[in-house]
């Protein structure tokens, strides 16, 4: 029994090697490529090109909106949430608004005995 490739297998391997080398060679770009015209931008590309221009109206509005949102979040909403949380869970006793009467907190010992 002979060892190695049969003549058909050798021819097939040589064909595959040749095709792979040709494919790799075809992947190299020439100095003229890519062959795209300067006006080949789509609508999305044109929008972003205009949007990203310095001092464009959309860019200024977006910047101002983001800054206003960040200011509102960090200087109004988060501190208001902290104050609300503290008043709701950490102030000792509730105050009746109409009379000003302070209702003391419930006793913990009473709750432990009853389930």
Average of pLDDT values for 85-106? Answer: 78
The whole-chain average pLDDT of the chain stands at 83
63 is a domain residue: yes
5 is a domain residue: no
The pLDDT value recorded for residue 113 is 55
Provide the percentage of residues in the chain whose pLDDT is more than 90.
Answer: 38
32 is a domain residue: no
Number of separate domains in the chain: 1
86 is a domain residue: yes
67 is a domain residue: yes
> What secondary structure does DSSP assign to the chain, as a single string?
---S--HHHHHHHHHHHHHHHHHHHHHSPPTT-S---TT---HHHHHHHHHTSTT-HHHHHHHHHHHHHHHHIIIIIHHHHHHHHHHHHHSSSEE-TTT-PEEPPPPHHHHHH--
77 is a domain residue: yes
Domain coverage including residue 82: 54-92
């Amino acid at each position: 029994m002979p060892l190695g490739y049969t003549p058909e297998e050798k021819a097939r391997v040589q064909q595959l090697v040749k095709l792979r080398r040709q494919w790799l060679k075809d992947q190299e770009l020439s100095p003229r490529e890519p062959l795209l015209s300067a006006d080949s931008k789509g609508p999305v590309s044109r929008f972003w090109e205009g949007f990203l221009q310095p001092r464009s109206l959309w860019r200024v509005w977006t910047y101002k909106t983001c800054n206003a949102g960040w200011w509102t979040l960090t200087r109004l909403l988060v501190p208001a949430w902290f104050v609300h949380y503290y008043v709701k869970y950490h102030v000792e006793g509730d105050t009746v608004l109409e009379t000003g009467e302070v209702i003391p907190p419930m006793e913990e010992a009473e709750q432990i005995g009853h389930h």
